[in-house]
Amino acid sequence: MLHISPTALCRHPLALALAIVVGIVLVFWHSSTATARDGALLVDPRQQTTPKPKKAETRKAPPAAQPATTTRKNATTPRRATRKPTRRKARARVPSETAPSGNPPAGETRFVADEVIVRYRLAAAQPAMDALVRRLNLRHIEGRTFALAGITVHRYAIIDGSPVTTVIAALEADATVVYAQPNYLYELAQAAAAASGGPQYALAKMAIDAAQAVTTGKDVPVAVIDSAIDVTHPELEAASVETADVTGNMPEPHQHGSTIAALIAAHGTLRGIAPDVKMLGIVAFDVDADTGAVNSSSWRVAAAIDHAHRWGARLVNMSFAGPQDPLIARSVAGMGRRGMIAVAAAGNAGPDAPPLYPAAYAGVIAVTATDRDDAVFVRANRGDYVALAAPGVEILGIAPGGRYVVSSGTSLAAAQISGLAALLLGRAKQLTATELLDALTTSAHDLGDPGVDPVYGAGLPDAGSAISRFGS
């Protein structure tokens, strides 16, 4: 740094002035340097363009390892690494692998004498099943999964003449078998034709006119499991009736099935209770070539119930009766789970006979028969399973060839109740079986002993009153 002594400055005025100027410059330089070091702006902020700050550099975490995927050209939605949580599908019902013995009770003979039905365990090995069949001298006829029963079973012929009960006992003793049973026989619940008849007194007895003023059961899907229907009969020509056959024999039209169909849906001289239903007649009964009897079997009835379900039946009429049957019991339970309503004949075995089925199964509406004076049909079964009564004595029906017949039986009474149930479903399509039965029983005229009894059930339903529960 330049040094000038004070004495020299005093002697030379010019030097003094120069020293003053240099001092001022030094003071300003020092001040500006110190401010810059403290971070103050050295330029006018109005003239400064603030540079955009750099984005902070971030590193993405490496993606988790994913299975290799193939992207297809024009795919609308590529597969994503993560998926939205989805509700798990309900697991299919797995049938229980335990069951009571299927051997018939002592004295029961209503079954095919040389056939058995067998249910195997799901884990049963084919060689073990084949060995069992050979050992017992059986011949496989057919196997089938019955959807409503929820099981797969096989039907065998007994080729050495062994008794059915003996074969069932041997089958159930084998580790591959859940249970075995006879192929039970069912009969149509209708008596021989009566000598005299009359007009359709059932219409007035059940106040059908009042109900039909509100609904005729239009398009309610009703299945009739029975003998073959004569769809060409004048009473049914205008009705909506389809047919299906589960016997494999394509039987000729028969009086019983034809009359049941007419009581529900006739459009001619007779008036059906629900004439505008959509009906499916399922042929499960055929004439036995040896005995002349019209009957069916466990196998055919279960197949008919499955067919009714596939077709979309809401209501199923079963005007037949037989023994307690494990396969049909499961099928009937399956109907209830799927919202199908079953109506069945109580049976014509007499007042002292044991219960008949399918009417006596839980959830089935069992119907007994009455005459024009409200007396019970003399051959009708009785029991706590009887739910309702309906006209079934000396009822005018139809037969193939354009003929008319008069007959009696709980079969006919069941058809009357099926027609009335179809009217209710035509008015309130979402009715459950419980709601429908409640509407019929609460509207019924009490017959016999006060209250529900084993002879008449809740009594004779009033169609007009039952329909009125669901609006005018």
* Span 184-193, pLDDT tens digits: 999 998 765 5
Query: Average pLDDT of 238-249?
Result: 97
Longest CA–CA separation in the chain, Å: 169
pLDDT > 80? residue 451: yes
Give residue for tokens 């009455």: 370
Whether 36 shows a pLDDT value over 80: the answer reads: no
pLDDT of residue 6 exceeding 70: no
Give the strand order in the sheet containing 221-226.
240-245, 278-283, 221-226, 315-318, 341-345, 364-370, 386-391
Give the per-residue pLDDT at 292.
82
Q: For residue 438, what pLDDT is reported?
A: 96
Share of the chain above pLDDT 70, in %: 78
Classify 298 in phi/psi space as left (phi over 0), alpha (psi -120 to 50) or beta: alpha
**Does the structure show a pLDDT above 70 at 34?**
no
Mean pLDDT of 209-237: 97
pLDDT digits (tens, 9 = 90+) for 289-313: 888 889 999 999 999 999 999 999 9
pLDDT at 289: 81
Q: Over range 220-224, report the average pLDDT.
A: 98
What pLDDT was estimated at residue 170? 98
| Confidence grade of residue 272 (pLDDT, cut at 50, 70, 90) | very high
Which residue in this structure is represented by tokens 């100027």?
21
Sign (positive or negative) of CA dihedral 330, 335, 338, 341? negative
State the average pLDDT over residues 152-156: 98
125 vs 2, which has greater pLDDT? Answer: 125
CA–CA separation, 68 and 55 (whole Å): 34
pLDDT at 243: 98
Structure token pair of residue 144: 């089938």
Residue from 402, 412, 404, 406 nearest 380 by CA: 412
- Residue 190's pLDDT is 72
- Each residue's pLDDT tens digit, 45-56: 333 333 444 443
Inform me whether the pLDDT recorded for 84 exceeds 50: no
Question: What is the predicted pLDDT for the residue at 18?
Answer: 55
Q: Please tell me the predicted confidence (pLDDT) of residue 97.
A: 81
Q: Is the pLDDT of residue 198 over 50?
A: yes
Mean pLDDT of 261-288: 96
Question: Which residues, 6+ apart, have CB-to-CB distance to 181 below 8 Å?
Answer: 102, 103, 104, 116, 117, 168, 298, 325, 326, 327
Q: How many angstroms separate the CA atoms of 143 and 240, rounded?
A: 33
pLDDT of residue 13: 54
Banded model confidence at residue 23, pLDDT cuts 50, 70, 90: low
Residue-level pLDDT at 385: 98
Tell me how far apart the alpha carbons of residues 87 and 162 are, in angstroms, rounded to a whole number: 53
The predicted structure's pLDDT at residue 83: 44
Three-class DSSP labels, 379-421: CCCCCCCEEEEEECCCEEEEECCCEEEEECCHHHHHHHHHHHH
- The β-bridge relationship of strands 395-399 and 403-407 is antiparallel
Residue 288: what pLDDT? 85
pTM as predicted: 0.79
> pLDDT confidence of 87, banded at 50, 70, 90?
low
Give the per-residue pLDDT at 470. Answer: 87
How does the average pLDDT of the chain come out, rounded? Answer: 84
Alpha-carbon distance values, 364 to 45, 250, 434, 443 (Å): 95, 28, 10, 19
pLDDT at residue 81 greater than cutoff 70? no
| pLDDT tens, residue by residue, 316-340 | 999 999 999 999 999 999 999 999 9
Mean pLDDT of all residues in 74-80: 34
What are the pLDDT digits (tens) for 337-377? 999 999 999 999 999 999 999 999 999 999 999 999 999 99
- Give residue-wise pLDDT tens across range 385-403: 999 999 999 999 999 999 9
